[in-house]
Each structure stands twice: as C-alpha cells, then as structure tokens.
Amino acid sequence: MKKPAKTKPEKKKPSWSDIKKSLSEYDRPALIGLIADLYAASSENRTFLHARFSTGSESLKPYLKIIENALYPDMYKNKPVQIAKAKKAIADYSKAAGEPIGLLELMIFFVETGTSFTVNCGDMYEEFYLALERMYEKALNLLLTMDEKIIDDYYDRFEDVVSSSADIGWGFHDLLAEMFHDAFPEDD
C-alpha cells in the first residue's frame, strides 16, 4: 500500500494587515497607480471613490439611482422591488463618504421613493412598509441632530411623506404621523 503524499500546509488567506504591510512599501506614484487600477476595475469602485473624494450632490447621484431602481422598479419589465439593494446603497455611501447630509438625503429619498411606488402602483406587503418605517425613523433621528437650517430645509419633505401616505394601509400612515408629531410636537 502506497503512503499518501505529504502536502505542504496551506498558507493562510491574506488579511488586511498583509495588504497594509505591502502598501506601506509603495511610493506615492505607485499608490496612485493602484488606485487608478481599482478605479478602472469596476463601477462600484468608481462610485466609492467619487463619493469619498467629491463634495456636493454629484457624489449622491449613483446612490440615488440605485435606490430609485430598487424601490420604484419598472413594472412593465417585471422588475422586483429590492429593499436590500436600496439599503445597501445607503450603507455603501456611508462607508465611502459618511457625510451626514448626504446620508439624510439618501434616507429620506428611500422613504419618498417607496411611498410614491405604493401610492402609484398599489398596496405592498408588510415587510416593505416596515423597511420604510425604520428608514423614516432613522432619517428623522438624524435630522434632529442637525442644525436648525438643515431641519428647516428638510422639514417639508418629512411632512410631505406623512401626507402622501394618508391612504396607505398596514398602519403605515399612522406610524409615520406619530413619529413626525413626536419629533415636532409644537406643530400639533
């Protein structure tokens, strides 16, 4: 009987510390070249780098488009609603830029888009409304941490979501109205 051949122990998978060590040996032009290669490698990398190094609404456009396509899909092409994909767009922006006003914009857009979809296309399922409610609450909590000018700039959009949800079931409208009035009790 033949003995099995000895195999070499497998090397461990590369970790961030291995990559970090290698990167520390790169000079500035080599690092820029590496980033250029990453930029060219995928649209996700480009979107990330644009968000990280850009300011203003331009860096939000790809994320807004993802949310719109995920929460207001083309029904004529039989596209499904993809809540997880819309949430991932917000998480990806948070990792790339994490700028609070940008996050607020994406969060309220998420709720506006989902609410608009159900108003225009018909009743949805409970998990859909729960996702919108949770995002509305997160966005509202974030808004309340900001200065008065930003609160004033976004106030109408938060109120409009409540108003536009008036004919939606599942307790959706009632919960949004309650959250809004708890945040702005002087407006009761």
Number of neighbours of residue 33 by Cβ within 10 angstroms:
12
Domain positions in the chain:
28-187
Please give the chain's pLDDT, 188 residues, in tens.
566 666 666 677 888 888 888 878 888 888 878 888 888 888 888 888 877 787 566 889 999 999 999 999 998 898 999 999 999 999 999 999 889 999 999 999 999 999 999 999 988 999 999 999 999 999 999 999 999 999 999 999 999 999 999 999 889 999 999 999 999 998 65
Report the amino acid identity of residue 108: I
Which residues have C-beta within 8 Å of that of residue 82, sequence separation ≥ 6?
A: 70, 71, 73
Give which of 130, 134, 106 is closest to 118, Cα–Cα. 130
Are 139 and 104 in contact by the 8 Å Cβ rule? The answer is yes
The phi, psi pair for 25, rounded to 5°, reads -90, -10
Are 118 and 128 in contact by the 8 Å Cβ rule? The answer is yes
Are 89 and 63 in contact by the 8 Å Cβ rule? The answer is yes
Instruction: Say if pTM beats, i.e. exceeds, 0.85.
Output: no
